[in-house]
Structure 1
């Protein structure tokens, strides 16, 4: 026989006072959003990336205010700072309190102001192109995965065609042709260039997220809640928009944060090749393209290059941390 438990003293004394008084609080459940936020808060690297992303967005939004306080208009020339013999800044860089990042060779434009304004173009194109890709890719991917059959076959083969398409060559050709004219599609100037880049980058990148959404939908359509909706008489559109899409929010958010830096690099590449936004409108890729001719003046290339590097790294770190926070298998 086992000895009886002795609860006369130590066991009762070790119990919390709230339990003894009958005042213990009920355990509160946590939503998936709260669990994800708790995980994300523990990831200091991801939070740092998110902070940098928010800072860059604020810089882009308030670019005119920032330049008005500590900069110069991005298209103004400062020929007095340029040597007439070497066409380089007289003191080598032009860096000082008036020009925090120095000035460009030949024309003496303020590099700091052009980088701040360049953030507006790069982030605007990246965000809107990503939004276009996500909308098209999500809708077509979910339709392919849910309906299957000939719908899945047509959409999947279309994805294969887009993935095999030489998008960079097409973007260079289309941008070069359209930008030779002063107006097209009722648009002119920078508005035409930005809209064209958003369309090219966003429209031809949707198959990447489309394949992910198709795979997720193939898994979700066999789940119990989808069968329950069908048994109650729900039709396809209702199941897609009310049952499946809410369960695809997590992968959509994660992939979007990883697609934005890719689009930033693609816009920079097009501007570097001379088929992006036309000068003198500042873009980070355009500044790098101009800096190639002056490789002996390193600051001219360093600052726009670091702007691209920091922006892409911040989005990647935040996206990686967000993926871990939203992973249901993570602890």
Structure 2
């Protein structure tokens, strides 16, 4: 038997019970709290996320922003255009206090207002198309990964077919072939719905493959076996046990898919198959600037920078979010 510890008189050493009584409670942290702590350390990702949030607010409140600045997207200012050269009067494309980004050649429309309204179109199409592709891809991916067998084979071959599909050519052909009014939609509403459908419906295999691979590993975990042993049905296991554990890769891939959709929409608008004028679009502005870059190069810079900075901000935020949710990916 060991002898008890002896404490000399006047010693300041505290007993273990006293230390435990004075200690505070240790609180656990959830995965999302730990991920937020990691994300806060990544200043570049936070800067990208802040810009994305600002861009979303600018797109939502575009009329308010333009009203505060005192500009409009579709009003002509031909008095500010040189009648002989058809270029803005003054230096740097007509930049002034009244027109912070200058004006367009020929008609003199304000570029800042059109950039702001173009953000609304680009983000609307990108978010809706991403949502559609995520819903389809996650549903089919989780079903293929969990059931396996002929279900997995069928869905995987369907993914291969969609991945081999010439999406750009199909989008150009479909947008050009659809009439001006169909299914109760017409004008730009029809164009936006059509572009969202094309991008979202044919982009789901990318996220579907990721979710299928994650589901293949998760279906063998203990919590899935426990749910089966308790008699849980397959829909419950799929959407209550597996889906919450797939939120992290879904969020990461969605943030990286949005800038791809922004570029796709800008490309369609550049080729003339996006929203119809006079509705502002970044791709359409770049298409118009291509005819004036020799005499008015400033016209090309604002829409080009808008696309570049938007895509860069989404990518930086997506990379930071991936590292925060999965530190092993570093």
Q: TM-score, normalised by structure 1?
A: 0.93
Asked if structure 2 preserves the Cα contact closer than 8 Å seen for 1:72 and 1:113, the reply is: yes
Asked if structure 1 preserves the Cα contact closer than 8 Å seen for 2:45 and 2:319, the reply is: yes
Equivalences for 1:115-194 in 2 at 5 Å?
Answer: 115-178=115-178, 181-194=179-192
Selected match of 2:236 from 226, 238, 251: 238
What secondary structure, in the 3-state scheme, does the structure 2 residue paired with 1:30 have? coil
Cα distance between partner residues in 1 of 2:90 and 2:118? 25
Task: Please state how far the C-alpha of 1:184 moved relative to its aligned partner.
Answer: 1.7
Cα distance between partner residues in 2 of 1:144 and 1:11? 68
Task: Structure 1 unaligned segments of length 5 or more: list them.
Answer: none
Cα distance between partner residues in 1 of 2:137 and 2:112? 37
Task: Please state how far the C-alpha of 1:23 moved relative to its aligned partner.
Answer: 2.0
Cα distance between partner residues in 2 of 1:250 and 1:12? 50
Task: Please state how far the C-alpha of 1:69 moved relative to its aligned partner.
Answer: 1.4
Aligned CA distance change for structure 1 residues 67 and 252 (closer, same or farther; 3 Å): same
What secondary structure, in the 3-state scheme, does the structure 2 residue paired with 1:59 have? helix
Aligned CA distance change for structure 1 residues 39 and 10 (closer, same or farther; 3 Å): farther
Cα distance between partner residues in 2 of 1:229 and 1:119? 46
Cα distance between partner residues in 2 of 1:76 and 1:266? 28
Aligned CA distance change for structure 1 residues 268 and 10 (closer, same or farther; 3 Å): farther
Task: Please state how far the C-alpha of 1:182 moved relative to its aligned partner.
Answer: 2.6
Task: Supply the RMSD in Å over aligned alpha carbons.
Answer: 2.2
Asked if structure 1 preserves the Cα contact closer than 8 Å seen for 2:322 and 2:329, the reply is: no
Cα distance between partner residues in 2 of 1:223 and 1:69? 56
- Structure 1 partner of 2:299: 300
What secondary structure, in the 3-state scheme, does the structure 2 residue paired with 1:103 have? coil
Determine whether 1:216 maps to 2:214.
yes
What secondary structure, in the 3-state scheme, does the structure 2 residue paired with 1:275 have? coil
Which digits, 9 at most, give the CA deviation of each residue in 1:155-174, with x for residues without a partner?
Answer: 00000000000000000111
Equivalences for 1:175-324 in 2 at 5 Å?
Answer: 175-178=175-178, 181-296=179-294, 297-324=296-323
Aligned CA distance change for structure 1 residues 20 and 207 (closer, same or farther; 3 Å): closer
**How many residues get paired?**
325
Asked if structure 1 preserves the Cα contact closer than 8 Å seen for 2:144 and 2:156, the reply is: yes
Cα distance between partner residues in 2 of 1:299 and 1:197? 29
Cα distance between partner residues in 1 of 2:22 and 2:289? 70
Task: Please state how far the C-alpha of 1:320 moved relative to its aligned partner.
Answer: 0.4
Cα distance between partner residues in 1 of 2:81 and 2:173? 36
Aligned CA distance change for structure 1 residues 84 and 207 (closer, same or farther; 3 Å): same
